[in-house]
Amino acid sequence: AWIPALVFGIPGDAVTAIVLGALMVYDIKPGPMIFEQSGPQVQSIFAIAFITQILLLPAGWIGIKTFDKLLQLPRHWVLTAVVVFSVVGAYSLQNSMFDVYVMALFGLIGFGLELLAIPLAPLILGLILGPMVEKNLRTGLIKTEGDWMPFLTRPFCITMLTVLLVIFMLPTLSRLFRQKD
């Protein structure tokens, strides 16, 4: 999943999307040019991934008994430890309470998304791919001198718009057909 995510900039799941977002924060832009623009960093990522795979096996063997004991702890102890480590980690970045408030805000946003059953992957995917789509749309509009019609009248575009329309209408149409039966 990592190779397509890095090369095409399209994550396959929520975890990969979060990692791609983190890479973009550090000015490593996933996509076809990643090896030219950030070659040493990408090589480091692959080296670290390889070393991690080697080290995970003994760490798993050693940690299996510890993890079993952690699961037997009362839930409120574990949650308290998670909150304390999160606050300490956020504060230690720049010794600033602002970072703790930002962490708490995004924690509340995440909790709200979880309550509303809004999936995280499409949201992160939109955040990652949004600037790329916007840049390419702007380039296309410059090439067509601001005219939107070439986007709507070419055969490929008509096909893609039709497929998109069918995908969006499919749940509604299937619901209508089920009600008739």
- Considering the domain boundaries, does residue 28 fall inside one? no
- Considering the domain boundaries, does residue 168 fall inside one? yes
CA 65/CA 75 separation, integer angstroms: 18
For the chain, the residue count is: 181
Q: What is the pLDDT of residues 48-98, one digit of tens each?
A: 989 999 999 898 888 888 888 888 999 999 999 999 999 999 999 899 999
Please tell me the pTM assigned to this model.
Answer: 0.51
Provide the pLDDT confidence category of residue 21 given band limits of 50, 70 and 90. confident
Residue 42 confidence (pLDDT) above 90: no
- Considering the domain boundaries, does residue 177 fall inside one? yes
The SS3 assignment for 114 reads helix
CA 96/CA 54 separation, integer angstroms: 37
Q: What is the pLDDT of residues 113-164, one digit of tens each?
A: 999 998 877 887 787 778 888 998 999 999 999 898 888 888 998 999 999 9
Encoded tokens for 139: 């380039």
- Considering the domain boundaries, does residue 181 fall inside one? yes
Check residue 142 and give its pLDDT.
93
Check residue 131 and give its pLDDT.
84
Provide the pLDDT confidence category of residue 3 given band limits of 50, 70 and 90. confident
Using an 8 Å Cβ cutoff, are 17 and 121 in contact? yes
Domain carrying residue 180: 148-181
Number of H helices, E strands in the chain: 9, 0
Number of domains into which the chain is organized? 1
Residue 20: count other Cβ atoms within 10 Å of its Cβ: 25
Provide the pLDDT confidence category of residue 181 given band limits of 50, 70 and 90. low
- Considering the domain boundaries, does residue 125 fall inside one? no
- Considering the domain boundaries, does residue 140 fall inside one? no
Using an 8 Å Cβ cutoff, are 11 and 125 in contact? yes
Provide the pLDDT confidence category of residue 103 given band limits of 50, 70 and 90. very high
